[in-house]
Chain A
Amino acid sequence: MSWLLTLPLVLPFLTAVAAFLTRQSPLGRRISVLGNTLFLAASVALLVRVVQDDIVVGQMGGWAAPFGITLVADRLSAVMVVITAITALAVAIYALGDIDARKEYLGYHALFNVLIGGVTGAFVTGDLFNLYVWFEVMLISSFGLLVLGGKKAQIDGGVKYVTLNLISTILFLSGVGLLYGMTGTLNMADLARTLPTVENQGLVTVVAMMFMVAFGVKAALFPLFFWLPASYHTPAFSVSAVFAGLLTKVGVYALIRMFTLVFNGDMDFTHTILLWVAALTMITGVLGAAAQNDVRKILSFHIVSQIGYMIMGLALMTPLALAGAVFYLVHHIVVKANLFLIAGVMERTAGSTDLGRIGGFYKSAPLLAVLFLIPAFSLAGFPPLSGFWAQYVLVAAALEDSAWIIAAVALVVGLLTIYSMTKIWAEAYWKAHPEGLEPRLSALDGDRRRALLWPVAGLAAITLVIGFFPEPFVTFATDAAGQLLDPGEYVTAVLGQGAA
């Protein structure tokens, strides 16, 4: 059944080509929306199949693992692909009202769909070198999207984004080379099988640390996150929404994959480091956010802080903690992308995202206020929104594991997140506009208003659904965590019976 695996991978690239060829006409943006709708359908089909069969494996070109490139989707991969598709569709629709003709001519839709293809590839590949290639696909298209338009701030942010990500790429590549030297294979399942037999286990830990740093840069972990708040507030709002939702999460996914499947030999060492890093990431992110006064900068620092929660789940490495991490990933992508999209609507109606220069939304645009309230307070962890359950599961896992410090950190950071969200709420929504302006949604013309608000409303609806009916999602996350904790199943699925 490998077409189920290849279809979500092929569709974004076909869409990108078609959108590039039609970039001079309004057809391009419609192709992007259509392509992402098909992509969503394909990814849901994959998820349904994964729920039935547990793991779907495809060997590309008919070369048996570990010689060819293997595509694998377990529960974590499949749900990440679906959530990627949901975000991509929302942003593709939002782009109808956000991206001007000049950016379209420069190839916005093509770059965007290549980015989505790269992200999807990273989620479904079962080969380490192939993962490197998908990272590069993702990286080069994100470079393009980040500087598209060429404003001064974009170029400036681009320098920091590009340089730090290139360093991480090189570390990743060196780590791949060293792993190959030790084991003679780059298939993840085969690595999981052969790494414990490597004589010098110290060397394995060294390479594990290289991967931790390389993916840590991509995931924006403490102290490697500085590129993120330097660049995420500079590009178009559609671009920052898709970056905020998906890019760092690919780093988190890669960390989860590598440190559950491949580098699980010296967990006392690696996962202790991850736990401290998680705590520091949460704290620095949330404190950084408290010092900011621009909506997008506040949200950017909160990405860092929330990456800490996910890594905390990975570091604790219990079934409940990993389930919490998976649940948090899904919830976070939806909420975070949505908040950046809302920031875009705020700028379009009030003229800025600087909290000192805007205000009055609550009075003149109550619909936007409601739409902001849902993801913002979900992010802060208010019951019964999705963020509450995500944090609840993670803190419960920490307490169950007697990890008191990290549990305390998670709770305090949750409180500080409420501080940031209420700051945006009080400044942008309750306070009157400093220049007496009344930002109204009706100021946007009809088509644009619909294009901007429907994706926001759709993502908010998903947040509500996860919040009010968390049980199937938690069950799914628990099953996904079970698969992550039992690498034998993954190895057998890829390499065949008798391999594990």
Chain B
Amino acid sequence: MEALLAITIGVLVASAVYLMLSRHVLRFIFGLVLISNAANMTIFTAGRLTPGRPPLIPEGAEAPPDLVANALPQALVLTAIVIGFGLFAFALILMFRVYTTLGTLDSDAMRVAEPREDTAG
């Protein structure tokens, strides 16, 4: 199970890096989504996988039976997903504004803030 998840994370990161190396900023943010999910799965996997054992305390008992799934990494992932979603939403809108104000999605063509010396005169 760990091996499978590790390979999945590896594939996600590899595709994400490929996408993020593109000059096209829309591809870049698609890569960003993939890599942020890879990071979330890393946390999840690093917290140990204990399938089929929910961390529930049976009625009447004061502590859960031994060896239940660790709930903390899942809480961390949940927080990270929410934050990641917010950041992605912002990035998407930013790219849309880039397209409407600068008229391009090619990061090499975005030279308003740092104009080329030879063309700026």
Asked if B19 CB lies within 8 Å of chain A CBs, one says: no
Cβ of B98 and Cβ of A133 under 8 Å apart? no
Number of chain A interface residues as a range: 35 or more
- The count of chain B contact residues (Cβ–Cβ below 8 Å) is 38
From A136, A140, A157, name the one whose CB has the most chain B CB atoms within 10 angstroms.
Answer: A136
B110 touches A181 (CB 8 A): no
Enumerate chain A residues within 8 angstroms of B114, measured Cβ to Cβ. 229-230
Closest to A179 in B: B46
A150 adjacent to B42 (CB under 8 Å): no
Q: Is A170 an interface residue (CB 8 A)?
A: yes
Contact B87 A136 (CB under 8 A): yes
- Chain B positions within 8 Å of A153 at CB level: 112-113
CB A184 to nearest CB in B, in angstroms, measures: 8
Does B90 lie within 8 Å of A143, measured CB to CB?
yes
Q: With an 8 A cutoff between CB atoms, is A169 at the interface? A: yes
| Complex alpha-carbon distance, A154 and B94, angstroms | 11
**CA of A167 to CA of B36 in the docked complex: distance in angstroms?**
9
**A154 — which chain B residues lie within 8 A by C-beta?**
113
The answer to whether A158 and B46 touch across the interface, beta carbons within 8 angstroms, is no
Q: Which chain B residues lie closer than 8 Å to A129 at the CB level?
A: 76, 79
Given A178-B42, A178-B46, does the pair A140, B87 have CB atoms closer than 8 Å? yes
Residue contact A152 to B112, C-beta cutoff 8 Å: yes
Closest CB in chain B relative to A299 CB, distance in Å: 15
Given contacts A153-B113, A166-B91, contact A159 B25 (CB under 8 A): yes
Contact between B90 and A174, CB atoms less than 8 A apart: no
Residue B83 CB within 8 A of the other chain: yes
Assess A166 versus B101: contact at CB under 8 Å? Given A140-B87, A177-B43, A180-B47.
Answer: no
Q: Does B97 contact A136, Cβ atoms closer than 8 Å?
A: no
Q: How far is the CB of B39 from chain A (nearest CB, A)?
A: 5
Q: Is A38 an interface residue (CB 8 A)?
A: no
Q: Looking at the complex, which one of A152, A162, A178, A230 makes contact with B94 (CB distance below 8 Å)?
A: A162
| A2: Cβ under 8 A from any B Cβ | no
Q: Does B73 contact A (CB under 8 A)?
A: yes
Residue of A nearest to B90 (CB): A143
* A143 nearest in chain B by CB position: B90
Question: Which residue of chain A has the shortest Cβ distance to B82 in the bound complex?
Answer: A136
CA distance A230 to B111 in the complex (A): 10
CA distance A177 to B73 in the complex (A): 8
Q: Distance in Å from the Cβ of A148 to the closest Cβ of chain B? A: 12
Q: How far is the CA of A163 from the CA of B79 in the complex (A)?
A: 20
A133 and B83 contact, CB distance less than 8 A: yes
Q: Given A147-B94, A234-B113 in contact, is the A177-B39 Cβ separation under 8 Å? A: yes
List chain B positions with a Cβ less than 8 A from chain A: 20, 25, 28, 32, 35-36, 38-40, 42-48, 72-73, 76, 79-80, 83, 86-87, 90-91, 94-95, 97-98, 101-102, 107, 110-114
